[in-house]
């Protein structure tokens, strides 16, 4: 029998948060951290499964998952309502009994009922979420750049960078992000909840020796910001790595200005940044491109298309004739049909299909991260008509490589 999932009461959120932390091997939040963490919980959206009672009869929460509402930008510039799924954990003494599966099923049904078109999460391990229809839809690049690496003479140069205090960051960065987002959000970008900022700014201030905040001002006003923390690698002065926690820029000049600033900070060996856009080629700004080491490429957004027809309607398509795709979805049956891609939300349950994939495979192409031909070659998609793959490549192509840039 599937475990019973219930909506947790607000007075149970802290227990749920402690359970989630424990599953990730983190200590329980103290009162100050809890005050910040609690802001992300939205009533009615935190699910739990009760476990075996303790020896003295005390009830035990065995698993939890929650989501908060955001919006996702899709190719073409429209945005759709998105459930940001997080704080998923099952007690180690209750794992592999189907608790996560029950939570994921109940959560997807709830998200669908709310009319949210997609759900998204960040995965602690890559083997957990595919079975629930999540696929990697954006990826990022990790870089480490030698401090004081000179920038090329031709690198964009305009505007100025000023450092701000933590209080100013808390007061000003949310509105600055909203402005940058409204003006330049590409596919994969998301809106940020107020509670998200509290957590991010607090995390960067509390986990390392120091943190910093700076804003870039261009000809039209503030157009970029960076938040970083400092990791001291030893006792020696200068054995520091500046770790970028959040870097957003509305244009190439702001981006270059912020990198120029970070690389110029004294008493540091390098600047490290995690999951930057695949197309943010810092090496192209440098006199010595080898001063920028690419230390990894990893999955960023795990995307679940909850309402496939609405998701397909929301994004724009490249210039090609429509293609008929049989989508398989074993959890949300409304998606489990033939979709005519390139036409607005058309489903054709009795029609034949040229291509076939499951809903996770569709999510991998949806924002433009992977091409249908790449997915077909790897067995994620099946082509019944080989000419349809090239058409699908043209339809799904997005002019900007997708990236989210918001960790939650
Ligand atoms: C990941 C986690 C939530 C799984 O919970 P669970 O209740 O054991 O999962 P289920 O019993 O529902 O497992 C469902 C299936 O997924 C598989 N699975 C679950 N976790 C897995 C993992 N970490 N790696 C590989 N497979 C996994 C199970 O083997 C099972 O497969 P089956 O249906 O073929 O038997 C739990 O192990 C946990 O809390 N881990 C630590 C915290 C964490 O990683 N949280 C996620 C934060 S993003």
Tell me, yes or no, whether 293 and 149 share the same domain: yes
Q: Which own/partner pairs from 326-331 qualify as long-range (CB within 8 Å, at least 24 positions apart)?
A: 326/353, 326/355, 326/356, 326/357, 327/356, 327/357, 327/358, 327/359, 327/362, 328/356, 328/357, 328/358, 328/359, 329/133, 329/358, 329/359, 331/104, 331/105, 331/108, 331/132, 331/133
Residue 29 lies in a domain: yes
- Domain final residue pick, 273, 301, 329: 301
Catalytic option among 13, 134, 261, 408:
408
62 and 79, same structural domain? yes
- Full domain range(s) for residue 46: 5-133
pLDDT > 90 in the chain, percent: 88
What distances in angstroms separate CA 262 from CA 24, 157, 233, one per listed residue? 31, 14, 18
- Number of structural domains (the chain) is 3
- The answer, yes or no, to whether residue 375 has pLDDT greater than 90, is yes
Asked about 366 being catalytic, the answer comes back as no
Q: Is residue 403 part of a domain?
A: no
Whether the predicted pLDDT of 209 surpasses 70: no
Q: Are residues 215 and 170 in the same domain?
A: yes
Cα 289 to Cα 162, 265, 284, 294: the distances in Å are 26, 19, 6, 11
243 and 214 within one domain: yes
Do 102 and 237 lie in one domain? The reply is no
Of 301, 329, 357, the position where a domain reaches its end is 301
Please indicate whether residue 113, judged by its CB atom, sits closer than 6 Å to ligand 1: no
pLDDT at 37: 92
Q: Is the pLDDT score of 348 beyond 80?
A: yes
Quick one: which atom of ligand 1 is closest to the CA of 124? 48
For the residues 193-204, what does the mean pLDDT come to?
Answer: 83
Q: Residue 371 is part of a domain; what is its CATH number?
A: 3.30.1050.10
Question: Is 89 annotated for ligand binding?
Answer: yes
Residue 88, annotated as binding a ligand:
yes
Q: What is the DSSP string of 324-381?
A: EEEEE-SS-GGGSSEEEETBTTEE-TTS--SEEEEHHHHHHHHTSSS-HHHHHHTTSE
pLDDT at 194: 87
Residue 160 has pLDDT above 90, yes or no: yes
Tokens found for residue 405: 């840039």
Residue 404 in any domain: the answer is no
Paired residues of 302 in beta bridges:
121, 136
- Are 270 and 172 members of one domain? yes
The reply to whether ligand 1 has any atom less than 6 angstroms from the CB of 96 is: yes
* pLDDT grade for 135, boundaries at 50, 70 and 90: very high
Question: Which of residues 133, 156, 171 is at a domain's end?
Answer: 133
Q: Token match 């905040």: residue?
A: 213
pLDDT at position 235 over 80? no
d(CA 44, CA 53): 24
Q: Which of 93, 96, 133 to mutate to test the pocket of ligand 1 (most atoms within 8 A of CB)?
A: 96
Best of 4, 22, 87, 100 to mutate for ligand 1, by most ligand atoms within 8 A of CB?
A: 100
pLDDT at 259 over 90: yes
Q: 280 with 160, same domain?
A: yes
278 plus 150 within the same structural domain: yes
How many angstroms is it from 87 CA to the middle of ligand 1?
14
Q: What pLDDT was estimated at residue 204? A: 59
Catalytic residue among 13, 20, 41, 129: 129
Q: Is 375 annotated as a binding residue?
A: no
Classify residue 390: in a domain, yes or no: yes
111 and 234 together in one domain? no
Provide the CATH number for the domain around residue 97.
3.40.630.30
What does the mean pLDDT of the chain come to?
A: 95
Question: 56 and 97, same structural domain?
Answer: yes
100-117 pLDDT, tens digit each = 999 999 999 999 999 999
Does 199 share its domain with 115? no
Residue 103 CB less than 6 A away from ligand 1: no
In a domain, 59, yes or no: yes
Is 177 tagged catalytic?
no
Say yes or no to pLDDT of 207 above 70: no
Q: Are residues 74 and 154 in the same domain?
A: no
């Amino acid at each position: 029998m599937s475990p019973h999932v219930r909506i947790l009461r607000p007075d149970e959120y802290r227990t749920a948060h402690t359970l989630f932390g424990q599953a990730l091997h983190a200590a329980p939040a103290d009162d100050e951290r809890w005050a910040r963490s609690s802001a992300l919980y939205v009533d009615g959206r935190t699910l739990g499964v009760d476990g075996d009672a303790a020896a003295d009869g005390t009830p035990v929460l065995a698993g939890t998952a929650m989501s908060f509402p955001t919006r996702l930008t899709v190719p073409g510039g429209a945005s759709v309502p998105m459930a940001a799924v997080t704080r998923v954990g099952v007690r180690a003494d209750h794992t592999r009994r189907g608790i996560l599966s029950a939570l994921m099923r109940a959560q997807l049904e709830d998200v669908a009922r709310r009319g949210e078109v997609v759900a998204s999460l960040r995965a602690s391990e890559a083997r957990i979420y595919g079975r629930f229809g999540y696929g990697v839809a954006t990826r990022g690049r990790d870089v480490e750049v030698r401090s004081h690496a000179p920038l090329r003479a031709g690198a964009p140069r305009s505007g100025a960078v000023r450092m701000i205090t933590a209080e100013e960051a808390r007061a000003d960065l949310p509105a600055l992000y909203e402005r940058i987002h409204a003006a330049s959000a590409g596919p994969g970008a998301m809106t940020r909840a107020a509670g998200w900022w509290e957590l991010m700014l607090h995390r960067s201030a509390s986990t390392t020796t120091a943190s910093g905040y700076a804003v870039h001002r261009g000809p039209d006003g503030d157009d970029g910001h960076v938040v970083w923390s400092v990791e001291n690698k030893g006792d020696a002065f200068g054995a520091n790595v500046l770790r970028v926690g959040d870097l957003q820029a509305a244009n190439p000049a702001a981006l270059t200005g912020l990198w120029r600033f970070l690389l110029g900070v004294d008493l540091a060996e390098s600047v490290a940044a995690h999951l930057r856009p695949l197309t943010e080629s810092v090496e192209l700004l440098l006199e010595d491109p080898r001063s920028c080491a690419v230390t990894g490429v990893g999955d960023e957004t795990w995307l679940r298309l909850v309402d496939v027809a609405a998701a397909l309607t929301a994004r724009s398509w490249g210039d090609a004739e429509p293609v008929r795709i049989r989508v398989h979805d074993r959890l949300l049956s409304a998606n489990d049909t033939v979709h005519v891609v390139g036409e607005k939300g058309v489903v054709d349950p009795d029609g034949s299909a040229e291509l076939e994939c499951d809903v996770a495979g569709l999510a991998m192409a949806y924002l433009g991260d992977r091409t249908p031909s790449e997915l077909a070659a790897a067995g994620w998609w099946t082509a019944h008509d080989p000419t349809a793959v090239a058409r699908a490549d043209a339809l799904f192509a997005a002019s900007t490589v997708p990236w989210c840039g918001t960790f939650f």
